[in-house]
């Protein structure tokens, strides 16, 4: 039986219905607006202009936690990392409950709670506003680990970097919650940062840098100056090791969005130019809602862990080998295997990822609101053909479907034949074209052909079906304006046409989208976002627990196969305010976290100063 408070699914929603047409319109508006904000009113610049502190104060903030986190200057220090949360309440709250536990007993090990929590981007979904931050982010964490003292600003430090969804309101709510003059209480956690990016000294030799890459557009000048200050300061000793957190795993997007990695590479360059033999052996990110790990030849680890509560993304599309440009040098990456196993270091498994896609066969029913929209589209086609059953209408319908589907898909897949052609023309300019570019152009061209080809087939299915049905029903229904018929005959004609074309659009029109996503995502490495957002899977959550000591970091990747459904939560009879270990709600059956894998990162890997 559902807890009364959680029956309010408007305040505490289930997984987002991404194919709801009204939501799609809101998202489009937010994307356009945030892009304008990012270009003309970048709030990172405003915050930096207001945060006019001395370099010494910046360094004081960065080094403030090193002594309190560890009994010695070398560790051990325990850090938690979670990303992509605030979508469905149930999944976000379940992960928060695990993060708030004093210990986790996993794989024969006792893992103490992180002494600091890092949120790695996209703290809320689908829109950044006051309600989503309050009810889908802060409330779950407040209830998972209740505040020990609401008057006490001492608690587990919480730092966050924003993702693209946090930027959809121009970063207003993110800054309001995470950069206030006094800490915001997220239950027993306390915010500590003053900007949307930060550097934190963890031990004598380990640092953590959190970047704000905006909408994968650029690094603002004050942020670049900030990291240059950190890198060149006396407190960051030669040979120090840096854990770099970014909101997007650019190493996964080399075939779609090189800009995402270029911003990361810029920060790598800052570390290199400090000329201190700094190492960056571990890069962490979210944005892609699964767990995966790539490794470079020198041992540098590239970890994606975006399972804090958002819908699941596939793992079967991951390439075995990718390459990135690390301060001008090509660095090959390989999808790692789990320790003592030949299984790839991914979660969920690639087999499970493929099998989940078959659920898109029921797309028309599970996304009924989008199916209603498709019924309306097919009805409009029926009206047009009924009024003018001529070739010009057929061409207009074909152009509308083609432009809409091909335009949307190429944008989603970051495909542009014009960009590919321009890159091909510059292939002889060594200053603009290197080995990675030469490898990427044919890959991108091949992908463009696949994307455009499948889009044409998808659009063609709609064109043929909609026109065939419209022509058929037009012949049956006759003239909509027959002479001598009563005035309401046109409304009768429209009503009959809606009953005829509506089901065609609802069932076939919507199902074509499901089939297209099933086929292209399973076999053609396309539609990874749409195919899984349509499924709204809130399970297979994950987060990281890091143990930092000496020169090494031991990373524990923790998974949660199943999240309780809404009706499975119960009031906790032992819940009391001021008791962080007693969450507000508990599941009918205990949560069952498990270790996805553990691996050790050597601080001697990942030189920022790679040979050129």
301 closest CA partner among 329, 334, 272, 265:
334
Give me the chain's average pLDDT, please.
Answer: 91
Q: Two tokens at 316?
A: 């079967």
Task: Identify which of 335, 355, 354 has the alpha carbon closest to the alpha carbon of residue 343.
Answer: 335
Q: Is the pLDDT at 36 greater than 70, yes or no?
A: no
**Strand-pair partners of 200:** 208
- DSSP classification of residue 59: H
Q: How many helices (H) and strands (E) does the chain have?
A: 19, 21
pLDDT at 609 over 60: no
469 has pLDDT over 90: yes
Which has more pLDDT, 339 or 202?
Answer: 202
**Residue 311 — pLDDT band, cuts 50, 70, 90?**
very high
The Cα–Cα gap between 23 and 40 comes to 25
- The predicted pLDDT at position 86 comes to 87
Pair 162, 119: CB distance under 8 Å: no
Q: How far is CA 580 from CA 65, 186, 205, 327, in A?
A: 22, 11, 32, 45
Q: Give the Cα-Cα-Cα angle 254, 259, 264 (nearest 5 degrees).
A: 90
Per-residue confidence (pLDDT) for residue 428, from 0 to 100: 65
The candidate with the shortest Cα–Cα distance to 206, out of 312, 48, 72, 309, is 72
Query: Quick check: 610 pLDDT over 50?
Result: no
Q: Which stretch of 11-20, 148-157, 254-263 has the lowest confidence by average pLDDT?
A: 254-263
pLDDT higher than threshold 60 for residue 38: no
CA distance 193 to 200: 10
Q: Is the pLDDT of residue 448 over 80?
A: yes
Helix (H) or strand (E) segment spanning residue 225: helix 221-232
Q: What is the pLDDT of residue 402?
A: 95
611 — pLDDT class (breaks 50, 70, 90)? very low
pLDDT > 70? residue 73: no
Residue 151 gets the label, from left (phi > 0), alpha (psi -120 to 50) or beta, of: alpha
346: helix, strand or coil: strand
């Amino acid at each position: 039986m559902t807890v009364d408070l959680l029956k309010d699914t408007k305040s505490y929603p289930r997984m987002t219905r991404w194919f709801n047409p009204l939501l799609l319109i809101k998202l489009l508006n937010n994307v356009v607006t945030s892009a304008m904000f990012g270009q003309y009113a970048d709030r990172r610049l405003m915050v930096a202009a207001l945060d006019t502190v001395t370099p010494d104060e910046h360094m004081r903030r960065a080094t403030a936690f090193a002594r309190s986190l560890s009994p010695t200057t070398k560790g051990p220090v325990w850090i938690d990392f979670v990303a992509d949360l605030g979508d469905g309440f149930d999944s976000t709250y379940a992960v928060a409950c695990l993060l708030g536990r004093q210990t986790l007993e996993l794989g024969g090990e006792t893992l103490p709670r992180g002494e600091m929590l890092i949120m790695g981007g996209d703290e809320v979904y689908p829109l950044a506003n006051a309600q989503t931050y309050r009810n889908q982010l802060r409330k779950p964490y407040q209830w998972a680990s209740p505040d020990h003292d609401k008057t006490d600003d001492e608690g587990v430090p919480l730092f966050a970097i924003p993702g693209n969804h946090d930027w959809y309101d121009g970063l207003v709510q993110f800054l309001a919650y995470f950069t206030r003059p006094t800490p915001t209480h997220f239950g027993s956690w306390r915010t500590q940062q003053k900007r949307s990016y930060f550097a934190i000294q963890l031990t004598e030799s380990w640092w953590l840098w959190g970047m704000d890459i905006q909408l994968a557009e650029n690094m603002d000048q004050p942020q670049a100056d900030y990291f240059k200050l950190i890198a060149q300061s006396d407190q960051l000793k030669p040979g120090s090791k840096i854990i770099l957190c970014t909101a997007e795993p650019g190493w996964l997007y080399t075939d779609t969005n090189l800009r995402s990695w270029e911003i990361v590479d810029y920060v790598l360059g800052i570390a290199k130019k400090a000329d201190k033999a700094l190492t960056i052996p571990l890069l962490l990110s979210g944005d892609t809602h699964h767990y995966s790990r790539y490794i470079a030849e020198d041992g540098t680890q590239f970890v994606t862990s975006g399972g804090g509560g958002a819908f699941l993304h596939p793992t079967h599309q991951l390439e075995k080998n990718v390459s990135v440009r690390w301060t001008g040098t090509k660095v090959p990456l390989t999808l790692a295997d789990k320790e003592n196993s030949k299984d790839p270091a991914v979660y969920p498994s690639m087999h499970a990822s493929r099998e989940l896609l078959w659920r898109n066969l029921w797309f028309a029913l599970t996304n009924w609101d989008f199916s209603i929209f498709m019924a309306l589209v097919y009805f409009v086609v029926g009206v047009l053909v009924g009024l003018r059953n001529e070739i010009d209408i057929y061409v207009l319908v074909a152009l509308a479907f083609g432009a809409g589907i091909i335009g949307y898909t190429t944008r989603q897949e970051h495909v542009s034949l014009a960009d590919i052609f321009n890159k091909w023309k510059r292939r002889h300019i060594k200053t603009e074209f290197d080995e990675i570019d030469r490898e990427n152009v044919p890959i991108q061209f091949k992908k463009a052909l696949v994307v455009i080809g499948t889009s044409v087939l998808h659009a063609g299915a709609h064109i043929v079906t909609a026109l065939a049905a419209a022509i058929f029903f037009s012949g049956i229904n006759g003239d909509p304006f027959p002479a001598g018929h009563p005035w309401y005959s046109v409304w009768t004609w429209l009503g009959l046409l809606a009953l005829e074309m509506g089901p065609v659009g609802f069932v076939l029109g919507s199902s074509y989208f499901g089939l297209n996503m099933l086929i292209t995502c399973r076999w053609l490495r396309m539609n990874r976002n749409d195919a899984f957002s349509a499924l709204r899977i809130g399970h297979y959550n994950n987060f990281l627990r890091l143990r930092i000591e000496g020169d090494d970091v031991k990373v524990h990747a923790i998974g949660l196969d199943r999240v309780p459904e809404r009706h499975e939560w119960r009031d906790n009879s032992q819940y009391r305010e001021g008791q962080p270990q007693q969450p507000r709600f508990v599941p009918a059956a205990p949560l069952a976290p498990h270790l996805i894998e553990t691996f050790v990162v050597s601080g001697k890997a990942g030189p920022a100063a790679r040979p050129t």
